[in-house]
Each structure stands twice: as C-alpha cells, then as structure tokens.
Amino acid sequence: MTDQSNDTAALRDLLDKVRFVMLTTIEAEGGALVSRPMTVQEVDEQWVVRLICQADNKVAAEADGHQVNLASMDGTRYVSLSGTGRVERDLAKKRELWDRLTEAYAGDAEDPNNVILEVQVAGAEYWDGGNPIVQLAGLAKAALTGERPEGGDHQTVSL
C-alpha cells in the first residue's frame, strides 16, 4: 500500500464513525462564512457525502454549485473535508437515505422541499490524537520536561 492509500484508508475509517458535521458555506450576501450542524446520511465509495436539507433555505442555495467545508470532531479525532456542493432531488435515493432521525427533523421523504445535498469531496485533512489517556500522559510529561508532546497523526489527503 502506498502512503496515499494508507491515508485514504485511515480517512475512510474516521468517516465511518462520523454522524454529524458542521457544514460551512459562503453567504451569498456579504461573503461571510456560515456554519451549521448537519446529519451525515451517507459517505459513498466515490467520496460523496450526502446530507438532507430543505430546498427553500439558505443551506441549499449557498451550497449548490459552490465550495463548502464539512468538519467533524469526536474526542481526539478531527476531520475537515472540502468539496463542491450539489442539490439532488432523486426521490428513490432520498427514500433510501431516510431514517427516523431525518423524519423527526424534516418530516416526510416525499416532501419535494426536502432535498439531498451532495458534497463531492476533493480534499481532506484529519488529525487523530489516539488514546486520550496516552495523550494526557504525554502532556504531563511535556509539562515536567519541557519537551513538546507527541501530536498524533495528521494527514492531508487529495481525493
């Protein structure tokens, strides 16, 4: 395995555990960065992340055809994905992705206002700090010795 395939395998492993992300878009008026929490419905083999949003809100308008970022944190693991958003209205795919959590938030999959936001990931960065107890011990050692603690694994991946 090459380093790139090791990195993509590690990234895939981290993404398999991600359920929620912060989606960042660029506001149409003023160009400010805007972030909001979203639920991940699927990450496919071609690195397309699928989320559900409503067609009549800013999320869909700001993401469709534009660069976006998805970020997630879980304990000592961090993932940042950059890519291009696209609104998809495929009803069969929507039904496939629909679950109880989505229904509780968005209502019925049949509602045409509910759409799939697909993010085609082009690049990613991840940081895996490893075991938090080992990390804490490293920080304590660093405080006593003045040596910089081990930072864990950080990689940049082009997809």
Global pTM value: 0.86
**Backbone conformation region of residue 76, classed left if phi is above 0, alpha if psi is from -120 to 50, else beta:** alpha
pLDDT tens track for 17-58: 899 999 999 998 999 999 999 999 999 999 999 999 999 999
- Pairwise CA distance, residues 39 & 18, whole Å: 9
Which residue type occupies 97? L
Nearest-5° Cα angle at 119, 116 to 124 = 150
Rg (CA), the chain: 18
pLDDT confidence tier of residue 100, bands split at 50, 70 and 90 = very high
Count of the separate structural domains present in the chain: 1
Task: Specify the residue for token string 């395995």.
Answer: 1
Output phi, psi for 35, to 5 deg.
-120, 145
pLDDT confidence tier of residue 1, bands split at 50, 70 and 90 = very low
Least confident residue range of 27-31, 88-92, 114-118: 27-31
SS3 94: helix
pLDDT confidence tier of residue 131, bands split at 50, 70 and 90 = low
Per DSSP, what are the bridge partners of residue 114?
A: 54
| Structural domain harbouring 96 | 3-158
User: What is the CATH classification number for the domain harbouring 102?
Assistant: 2.30.110.10
SS3 91: helix
DSSP 93: H
